[in-house]
Structure 1
Amino acid sequence: MGKLKSYQKQFQTLLDKGIDNAEIRHKRMVTRPFDFAEKLEKEAKSYSFKSVRQAHNQYAKSLYSSLRTLNERANGYAADLIARIDKEAAAAGAKSGNSKQPAKKTSTRRSTTAKKTASSQSSRGTASTSTASA
């Protein structure tokens, strides 16, 4: 029983030290933001809302302009990379002799002709007989 009491006291001491350490760290951590907020509050009284808004708008414009430039650069890089991959794939396809054969155009011509015939006859009012035969 004495060992369990000893372990319980050690555990309690460990928890107390952990809580004290967490409290000290928390106080240190929040000191900076509160100091900054107090300083900002003092300095903000000397600025008008209009000047703060202008500064905000200027910074925001600069930020979004920079982001758009970054996006354009990334887009250009991606396009170059895709073009290079396509070129390498085409070269690899040419080396292996696997050339793509063109699709049959007869079925495409029939469906296009049928559509043209159907649309021209539907404008005349006789589409039902020609579409059934096509």
Structure 2
Amino acid sequence: MGKLKTYQEQLQEIVENGINAAEEQQKKLASKPFEYAEKLENGVREYSVTTLRTRYYGYSESLFEQLRSLNSRFGSFAADLVAKLEKEVVEGAEEVSDVADAVKESAEGQKPAAKKPAAKKPAAKKTTTASA
């Protein structure tokens, strides 16, 4: 059952690394339009590009944090499931051990049957003929 826990942890780490890589890639891709827009920005707009960028990154960070939280919850669920499976295996092993002990005690409680001597064949009778 320790392997299940290891697999669960490895899976969580893979998902976490994927989330981090996706976040970094998204930020790189998203930064280009903002860089161009900032160059073209004039102060007359209702919202500045800088403000839009800040809001956009805030929303992006919130999204990735939610994904991390979901991954953490999944990890907790998987850990609980692994623990439950491990407990059931231990309980099953204990039950098997108890049955084995009962069988052993039962076998020890019986006296071995006394061995009967091997049956012997009756000796063949010699017939003698009397001479008259």
* TM over 0.5, shorter chain: no
Which category of TM-score, normalised to the shorter sequence, fits these structures? 0.3 to 0.5
Higher Rg of the two aligned structures? 2
Higher relative contact order, structure no. (Cα contacts within 8 Å, ≥ 6 residues apart): 2
